[in-house]
């Protein structure tokens, strides 16, 4: 028996081979798939095996249907362009929900809905939502299959774009099904673009629905996503599972799911250090993950660019893996001078979304080259010229590419046990106040710094770009439970680490501006100069200067050889204005007050200590 047992689907219309595996786990999976199919009523069900041939056929079919444009293989072999619906270009935080039993468990930073009520809302939406389409069943692993920090899940989806993306971003295949059959726990994720087709109705290039719901059920470990095809809303393994659901699993099991890049930094003597860094969306994680140091002798190996799972080890250190297998990175601003490694990674086998198309069948976006081509087709398919006044690529246009294609990927990037962390960085986009780098005095102070991160909004989510908002730990849109409890969880994790082996915590800001509005710090490859100082701090090679907000470098200790940062800019990069910091402290208190008394007293004490230091110079 190899045909899927889908009661409501005529067997002759099913295809794809349902794997023949014994085990109670397999029966559970098949039962669940049957149930979703009975609800959504797809014409066909396809069990994805993750093979090359299957992926080839999927992509070929998408080109035939007009869902992908095949790029000129001479310039970009194996690569495609997808153009989204103009209203489906970024995460929709206003439509993202945590449906926990108790409202307080979602906390004030998430949209909450009662699970029963939310199921009652979703059921009619999903009813028949896949009519005329194929429902794909995609088993995936986050982290190496079977690894000690890994977790598995299954996504059902009616979006070919989602399937193609999941195949790049995660490990898909029958070895995951083997684990499920053997009884391993797995997370259930359901996705529909919400665009059923009537018999004979032609499909559109990017099906989606104006009504969108991105819903997480933390108690039953489920995700239900409706109406959007956009990455963060549709690749459910990523933000929905690996951050929102995983943060809840981590809370219960004693680990952390974080919006962090992960790198190995190798100093001129060959010593390796592991660094994780949390910056909000479109604030430089991919760039730092692929850092090419501008100071001689230093090297960086990429381990991950968006998500890290951190777990205290028996040795008292904090171990980290990147649970993903690919990069879903911001295209604009990615060029040879800012991120050569990304440009090289994108040589082929890449799915581009909402970038511009060149007449020669290659792609372009703002920042790829200094001067734009004379004519292009913009992200919406309209003719574009440099003087037309519109961006050619959407500001949140993205590339989807396998991690293994990165020329500086660490040789052991998918090692199941991960790497031990030496330092954790928190950062954001701050034109004022926050210095280039500041070191926390200890773990608790570091958690305080993480909890106070704010950043200017970017195009990665709907909202007003540039507006300053709180984004603690860069997790505001991604923490699946009460953020104040999450602060407490970070404090508890610190207690499980050996104090002399826990990673040291730093805050960084590449985005401080002068009065004239220009960035004071060159950024990009030159951020290695900050990393160099951080590592010399870890090794106890340089002193730091105490300040009210933490430990600052002596500017003389920064390696600035070969760059020209005027002394007044350097001073401005580290200037601490006590009045603005006191206002900043007031805002932190206002923010803490939104949590109904749940913020840990240790962080309240840090806030009071900060105020004391600011007023007692
Ligand atoms: P998500 O994938 O949305 O989570 O974002 P990310 O944090 O990986 O963002 P990414 O590295 O793609 O950076 C987004 C933008 O920040 C790009 O336009 C970059 O050019 C810009 N950027 C990155 N690093 C720097 C830097 O050091 N200085 C300046 N000025 N801009 C930077
Ligand atoms: C982000 O917005 O932080 C991203 C892109 O990394 S998405 O996966 O779409 O959320
Ligand atoms: Mn991200």
**Nearest CA among 302, 385, 287 for reference residue 339:** 287
Tell me which residue has its CA closest to atom 4 in ligand 2.
281
Q: Tokens standing for 459?
A: 């195009």
467 pLDDT tier (thresholds 50, 70, 90):
confident
CA torsion angle for 465, 467, 472, 477 (degrees, to 10)? -40
Give the span between the Cα atoms of 528 and 341, in whole angstroms. Answer: 15
Atom number in ligand 2 closest to CA 232: 9
* Helix residue spans in 202-361 (DSSP H): 231-234, 246-253, 285-289, 336-345
Which of these is catalytic: 208, 240, 283, 479?
283
Q: What is the pLDDT of residues 391-413, one digit of tens each?
A: 999 999 999 999 999 999 999 99
Tell me which residue has its CA closest to atom 8 in ligand 2.
232
Calculate the CA 76 to chain-centre distance.
Answer: 25
pLDDT at 12 over 50: no
The answer, yes or no, to whether ipTM is higher than 0.85 is yes
pTM metric for this prediction: 0.96
HEC secondary structure over 413-441: CCCCCCEECCEEEEECCCCCCCCCEEECC
Give the span between the Cα atoms of 178 and 183, in whole angstroms. Answer: 9
Neighbours of 356 (CB within 10 A): 29
Give the span between the Cα atoms of 586 and 450, in whole angstroms. Answer: 16
pLDDT given for residue 560 in this prediction: 97
Q: Which residues is 258 bridged to in the sheet?
A: 308
Q: Is the CB of 44 under 6 A from ligand 2?
A: no
- Among this protein's residues, is 283 annotated catalytic? yes
pLDDT given for residue 22 in this prediction: 78
**Which is it for the CA torsion 15, 17, 22, 24, positive or negative?**
negative
pLDDT given for residue 18 in this prediction: 64
Could you give phi then psi for residue 11, rounded to 5 degrees? Answer: -60, -35
Q: What is the pLDDT of residues 484-500, one digit of tens each?
A: 999 999 999 999 999 89
pLDDT given for residue 3 in this prediction: 37
Q: What is the pLDDT of residues 530-588, one digit of tens each?
A: 999 999 999 999 999 999 999 999 999 999 999 999 999 999 999 999 999 999 999 99
Burial of 468 (0-12, 13-18, 19+ CB in 10 A): middle
């Amino acid at each position: 028996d190899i045909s899927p047992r889908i009661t409501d689907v005529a067997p002759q219309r099913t295809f794809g081979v349902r794997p023949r595996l014994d085990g109670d786990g397999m029966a559970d999976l098949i039962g669940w798939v049957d149930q979703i199919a009975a609800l959504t009523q797809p014409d066909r069900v396809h069990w994805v095996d993750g093979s090359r041939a299957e992926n080839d056929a999927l992509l070929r079919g998408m080109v035939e249907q007009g869902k992908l444009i095949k790029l000129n293989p001479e310039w970009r072999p194996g690569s495609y362009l997808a153009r989204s619906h103009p209203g489906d270009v970024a995460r929709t935080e206003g439509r993202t929900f945590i449906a926990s039993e108790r409202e307080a468990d979602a906390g004030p930073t998430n949209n909450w809905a009662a699970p029963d009520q939310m199921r009652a809302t979703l059921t009619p939406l999903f009813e028949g939502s896949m009519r005329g389409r194929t429902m794909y069943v995609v088993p995936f692993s986050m982290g190496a299959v079977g690894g000690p920090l890994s977790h598995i899940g299954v996504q059902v989806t009616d979006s070919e774009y989602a399937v193609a993306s999941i195949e790049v971003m995660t490990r898909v295949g029958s070895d995951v099904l083997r684990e499920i059959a053997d009884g391993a726990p797995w997370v259930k994720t359901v996705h529909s673009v919400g665009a059923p087709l009537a018999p004979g109705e032609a499909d559109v290039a990017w099906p989606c629905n104006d009504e969108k719901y991105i819903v997480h059920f933390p108690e039953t470990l489920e995700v239900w996503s409706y109406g959007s095809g956009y990455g963060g809303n549709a690749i459910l393994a990523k933000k929905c599972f690996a951050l929102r659901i995983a943060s809840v699993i981590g809370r219960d099991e004693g680990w952390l799911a974080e919006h962090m890049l992960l790198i190995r930094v190798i100093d001129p003597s060959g010593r390796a250090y592991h660094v994780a860094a949390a910056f909000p969306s479109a604030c430089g994680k991919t760039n730092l993950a692929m850092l090419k140091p501008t100071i001689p002798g230093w090297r960086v190996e990429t381990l991950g660019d968006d998500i890290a799972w951190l777990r205290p080890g028996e040795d008292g250190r904090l171990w980290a893996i990147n649970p993903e297998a690919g990069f879903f990175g911001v295209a604009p601003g990615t060029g040879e001078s800012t991120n050569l490694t990304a440009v090289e990674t994108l040589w082929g086998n890449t799915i581009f979304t909402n970038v511009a198309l060149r007449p020669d069948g290659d792609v372009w976006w703002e920042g790829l080259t200094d001067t734009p081509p004379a004519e292009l087709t913009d992200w919406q398919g309209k003719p574009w010229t440099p003087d037309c006044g519109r961006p050619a690529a959407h500001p949140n246009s993205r590339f989807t590419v396998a991690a293994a294609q990165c020329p500086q990927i660490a040789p052991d990037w998918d090692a199941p046990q991960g790497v031990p962390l030496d330092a954790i960085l928190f950062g954001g986009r701050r034109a004022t106040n926050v210095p280039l780098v500041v070191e926390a005095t200890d773990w608790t102070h570091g958690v305080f710094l993480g909890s106070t991160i704010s950043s200017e909004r970017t195009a990665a989510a709907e909202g007003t770009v540039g507006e300053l908002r709180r984004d603690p730990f860069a997790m505001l849109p991604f923490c699946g439970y009460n953020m104040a409890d999450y602060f407490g969880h970070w404090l508890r994790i610190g207690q499980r680490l050996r104090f002399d082996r826990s990673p040291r915590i730093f805050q960084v800001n590449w985005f401080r501006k002068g009065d004239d509005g220009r960035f004071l710090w060159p950024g990009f490859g030159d951020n290695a100069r900050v990393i160099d100082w951080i590592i010399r701090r870890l090794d106890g090679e340089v002193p730091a200067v105490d300040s009210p907000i933490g430990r600052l470098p002596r500017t003389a200790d920064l390696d600035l050889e070969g760059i020209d940062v005027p002394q007044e800019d350097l001073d401005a990069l580290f200037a601490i204005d006590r009045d603005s910091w006191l206002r900043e402290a007031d805002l932190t208190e206002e923010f803490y007050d939104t949590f109904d008394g749940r913020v840990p007293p240790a962080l309240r004490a840090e806030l009071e200590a900060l105020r004391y230091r600011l007023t007692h110079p």
